[in-house]
Every structure is written in C-alpha cells, then in structure tokens.
C-alpha cells in the first residue's frame, strides 16, 4: 500500500520575545509560577507588521526552495486567528509565494484542532490521487487581554508541511480516534482580537477529550500504549503535556518509570517552552521539537499525535518515522530563528501586541518585522504584503 505523510516540515516564529522573567517582574509575581507552574520560559511576540500570512510564508518558503513549487496542487491553511472573514489566509499566502494558479486553497478552522484536520484532509487527498503535493499550513498568534490568566501563555508560530506520497519524514497511519463535545471553554467572538478562556474548565475538557479520543483510537486501530515510542500533545503550555501523559498512563494502567515518561514526552516540549502557544501550530511545533532534539535514530519509531481544539474537537492518531528522515530536517534554521530573536521590555511588548488599533481601515506599518515577508499595510480594508529586501 502506498505510504502517505509529511515529506518536509519547517516552522517559523516572530523575531521578538518577551521573557517570563521580565513578565514576572512586571506583575510582581514569583518566576516559578511560570517556569515551574506552567512550564514556560519565553513567548514569541509578533510585531504589528507580522501576522499569520507573513509567518506562514516564512515557514513555507524554505520548503518550496527544495521542491518544484509548480507541483503544489492545494494549500490547506489552518488558523483560528484569521485575517479576513471571507478571503482565506491561504490565498494571500498563495500570491505572496507565487504558487501556481492550478491550485486549490481553503482555510480550516476549529480552534487549535484545525491543523490536524488539514493534515488528515491532505493525507486523504493524496491517497485518492498520488500525484497531489499539498502544502499544509498551521499558523496562529495567541493573544489574550492584559492582566488575564491567559496573558502568560501567549506566543506565535507557523508550521508548513508538504504532504505527499512516499514521504521522507513520517508516514501518517490509517485510523484515528476522535471526539466532539459542544462546550464553552475557550472562544473568540468576531468583534474581538483577544481570546476568552475558562482555564480550569478547559484543562478538564482537554483531559476528558484525550480519554475519549484514545479509547476510539484503540478500537479503530488495535494499537496499544506500548506500541507507541513518542507522544506529541497539543501544548497550550508545556505543563499541559505532562498532565495529558499522566492521564493517559493512568487510563491504560501502564507501568512507566520517570525516565521512560520523560523520554516519551520531553523532547517534544523544548521549542514550545521558549516559543509559547501557537494554537493550531502548537502540536506540530512539538513534533518538530521531537525530530530536532532526539539524537537517537528515530527511523521506524511510532509517534502519536493528540490534537485538541477548544469548543471542542479532539483527535488521536499516529505515524511511523521514515528511514533517512534526518537528511531532510531543517534543524539549523529552526535554532537560528529562535536564537536570533530579540528580547522586548514589557512596554515594548504592549506597544507591539496590545496598543494597536483593533481593526484599522487604513494604515501603513513601519518595518519592524525582520523576516523575509511582512504585512506592509491596509488600504480601504485591503491587506497588502511584501517580500522584503532584508530576506534571510
């Protein structure tokens, strides 16, 4: 049977960050509340001329440089921080990256779950037509009101994945477990740029969804806990992945030492801990973190993915790492992006993230985004992007 999965994967984040040490000093709270309590050290902060489209372009461009971009047959763009209520963010991206006109583009939305939905849809499309080469994007900017419990869990990022037949990184296995429940644990009405969340309730719903999706996964695939080598969870903050794995271990009554527990989960948390929440991209930033930070050969290992989107929809699925995967990883670029970020003061963070006019009709943005693509301005509600001369 033809293998289908992720052939190339790359992520991008903003050029700036706010340290949780700076945040704790401003809030006059103990740093351990963030470092230990939620497991976060930094959060990437997008400047005013950075949005999900420019982040997505920065994530996707290195992939397109390695392939014949004219073969891209679809762009599936997952986000919950969309830039337009009608036009998909993927079409802005399509133009910015000069993708072929013989291409379908659509936007996916259901909170943080949409990235997994787009990946599964792409996998199904390739299985139906092995000629398809699909660019899957998961991109978000996590933003909460100042002085709310969510403020410490902000961040931003975009992941680009090329889904094709005979993938070089991971084959996505058939069968998955899924779960939906109509709840209000996190939401963002159309007139708001910041999300609202009931944090404790959301954690409870997340863990309940995990148990249901896992049970369905087992029934559908026959795979067991012991069949999985590494576990990737949706990570709104890294402590959540620890809670999730403890819940799963308890549910299956597995005998797992602390060393095994850490080996199964910690490598997928390294980047999220210093990038922050990226909503739909978060699960896949975790997968890239796993690929980049496990030094043993992962070929043949089974990796599980648990995607959770508040509201809520969840899915548990798995894949097999392919031989030679390490030859096509872009680890150096990921590390370079993270290391080159500049720290912000708390006031600079406010200026970049919270002091902008909510929905400007007309604006020209000063260039603060140092990446290869930026949002140049908005003219009569129309967004304009540009490739900068300061490309990396």
Residues with Cβ within 8 Å of residue 368, at least 6 apart in sequence: 47, 48, 49, 50, 352
Residue of 48, 237, 12, 233 whose CA lies nearest to 140: 12
- Residue 80 designated active-site: yes
Catalytic residue among 103, 110, 112, 232: 112
Q: Measured in whole angstroms, how far is the alpha carbon of residue 165 from the centre of its chain?
A: 23
Q: Which of 50, 80, 151, 242 is catalytic?
A: 80
Residue 245: in which H helix or E strand, if any?
A: helix 238-252
Helix (H, G, I), strand (E, B) or coil at 249: helix
Using DSSP bridges, classify how beta strands 170-172 and 342-343 pair: parallel, antiparallel or unpaired. Answer: unpaired
Please state at what angle helix 199-221 crosses helix 238-252, rounded to 10 degrees.
50
Catalytic residue among 94, 234, 245, 334: 234
Of all helices (H) and strands (E), which one includes residue 265?
helix 258-265
Per the document, the length of the chain is 392
Q: 128: which residues sit within 8 A by CB, 6+ positions away?
A: none
Q: Could you list the active site residues?
A: 80, 112, 234
């Amino acid at each position: 049977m033809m293998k289908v999965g992720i052939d190339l994967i790359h992520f991008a984040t903003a050029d700036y960050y706010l340290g949780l040490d700076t945040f704790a000093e401003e809030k006059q709270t103990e740093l351990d509340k963030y470092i230990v309590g939620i497991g976060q050290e930094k959060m990437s902060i997008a400047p005013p001329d950075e949005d999900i489209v420019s982040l997505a372009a920065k994530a996707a461009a290195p992939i397109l440089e390695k392939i014949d971009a004219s073969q891209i047959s679809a762009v599936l763009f997952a986000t919950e921080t969309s830039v337009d209520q009608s036009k998909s963010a993927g079409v802005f991206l399509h133009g910015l990256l000069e993708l072929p006109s013989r291409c379908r583009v659509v936007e996916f939305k259901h909170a943080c779950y949409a990235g997994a939905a787009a990946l599964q849809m792409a996998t199904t499309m390739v299985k139906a037509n092995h000629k398809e080469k699909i660019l899957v994007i998961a991109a978000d900017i996590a933003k909460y009101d100042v002085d709310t419990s969510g403020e410490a869990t902000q961040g931003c990022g975009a992941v680009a994945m090329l889904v094709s037949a005979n993938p070089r990184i991971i084959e996505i296995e058939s069968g998955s477990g899924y779960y939906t429940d109509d709840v209000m644990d996190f939401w963002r009405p159309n007139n708001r740029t910041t999300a609202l969340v009931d944090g404790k309730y959301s954690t409870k719903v997340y863990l309940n969804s995990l148990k249901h999706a896992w049970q369905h996964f087992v029934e559908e695939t026959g795979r067991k806990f012991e069949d999985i080598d590494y576990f990737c969870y949706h990570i709104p903050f890294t402590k959540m992945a620890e809670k999730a794995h403890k819940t799963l271990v308890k549910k299956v009554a597995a005998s797992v030492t602390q060393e095994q527990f850490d080996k199964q989960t910690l490598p997928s948390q390294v980047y999220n801990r210093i990038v922050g929440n990226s909503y739909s991209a978060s699960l896949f930033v975790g997968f890239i973190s796993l690929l980049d930070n496990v030094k043993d050969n992962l070929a043949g290992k089974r990796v599980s993915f648990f995607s959770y989107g508040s509201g809520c929809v969840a899915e548990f699925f798995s894949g097999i790492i392919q031989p030679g995967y390490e030859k096509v990883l872009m680890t150096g670029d990921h590390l370079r992006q993270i290391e080159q970020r500049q720290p912000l003061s708390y006031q600079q963070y406010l200026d970049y993230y919270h002091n902008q006019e909510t929905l400007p009709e007309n604006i020209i943005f000063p260039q603060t985004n140092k990446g290869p693509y930026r949002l140049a301005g908005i003219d009569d509600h129309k967004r304009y992007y540009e490739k900068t001369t300061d490309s990396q």
